[in-house]
A and B are shown apart, each in its own frame.
Chain A
Amino acid sequence: MLSWYDWIYGIVQLSAGFLAVIAGAVALVMFGRSWRHRMMRAWWLLLVAAVFFAIEEVLGALDAFGVYSTPNLTHVVPGIILGFVIAALIKQIYLSRGCV
C-alpha cells in the first residue's frame, strides 16, 4: 500500500521527467532558429544542455521507479550540463562584447 508521500514523490518524479522531455523537445525546435540569429548562438550550447537535462531526468525517473538504476551516471551528467552552461555563458559574454 502506497503512502501519501510515495504518491507525491511519484507524481513529482513523473512531472519532472515529462517536463524535461518537453524542454528537450522545445530545445530541438529552437536549434535551427537560434543558429540564424547571431546573438542567439550562445543558446545553442544551452539547448544541448537542455537535451542532457532531459536525459538526466529520464534516468532519475527510471531510477525512482526501480526500472533502471545508474547511481554514478546521475551525478556525472549534471557535470556535463554545467560544462555546457559555462560554455554558453562565455559565448554570450563574447557576443555581448562584440568579439564574435
Chain B
Amino acid sequence: MSLAVEFGRVAPYYNLVLVIVAGGLFLYLFCMAKKAPLFVRPWKILFVALMVFIIEEGLTIARAASLVYIPVHINGFFELLIVVLFVYALLLQKAAMDGTVQKRVPAVHVIQVRKGLHRRAE
C-alpha cells in the first residue's frame, strides 16, 4: 500500500488527537477571556464547530471499525453545519473589526479601569 493510502487510513485517528488538543486550548482561552479584554463570541462559535467535527470524526472512526452502520453521506450534513458556523464566526469577527458589534468587556477589566480612574482623581 502506498504512503498516501496509509496516511489516509490513520488520518481520522490523529485528527481526533488534534481535536482534543484544540479543545483544551479553547477552554484555556475561554478561562482567560474572563480577565482579558477579548471578544470571545466568534471563538465560542468556532468551538461549537469543533464539537460538530468531533462527532463527525467519531462516526467516521466507528464506521471504519464496523461498530455502527451509518451511510457516509451523513457527513455532508455535519460539514454544512461546520461551514455555516465558520462563516458566521468570520462575519461576526468582521463586524467586530468594523465596530458594528457591541462587545461585552469582562467585569474584572471594567473594575480595574474604574480603580485606575479613581486613583487619578485623588
* 11 cross-chain CB contacts under 8 A: A19-B83, A19-B87, A26-B90, A30-B94, A71-B8, A75-B8, A76-B11, A78-B53, A90-B25, A92-B43, A97-B32
Q: Are A9 and B76 in contact (CB under 8 A)?
A: yes
Beta-carbon contacts of A72-94 to B below 8 Å, as 1s and 0s? 11011011001101100110110
For the residues of A in contact with B, the DSSP-based class is helix
**A22: Cβ under 8 A from any B Cβ:** yes
Q: How far is the CA of A27 from the CA of B31 in the complex (A)?
A: 27
Per CB-CB distance, the 4 closest pairs between chain A and chain B, nearest first, are A72-B8, A75-B11, A89-B25, A82-B18
Mark B residues whose CB is within 8 Å of A: 4-5, 7-8, 11-12, 14-15, 18-19, 21-22, 25-26, 28-29, 32-33, 36, 38, 43, 46, 50, 53, 57, 73, 75-77, 79-80, 82-84, 86-87, 90-91, 93-94, 97
Measured between beta carbons, the chain A residues less than 8 angstroms from B79 are 16, 57, 60
Mark A residues whose CB is within 8 Å of B: 5, 9, 12-13, 15-16, 19-20, 22-23, 26-27, 29-30, 33-34, 37, 39-40, 43, 46-47, 50, 53, 57, 60, 64, 71-73, 75-76, 78-79, 82-83, 85-86, 89-90, 92-93, 96-97
Q: Are A15 and B4 in contact (CB under 8 A)?
A: no
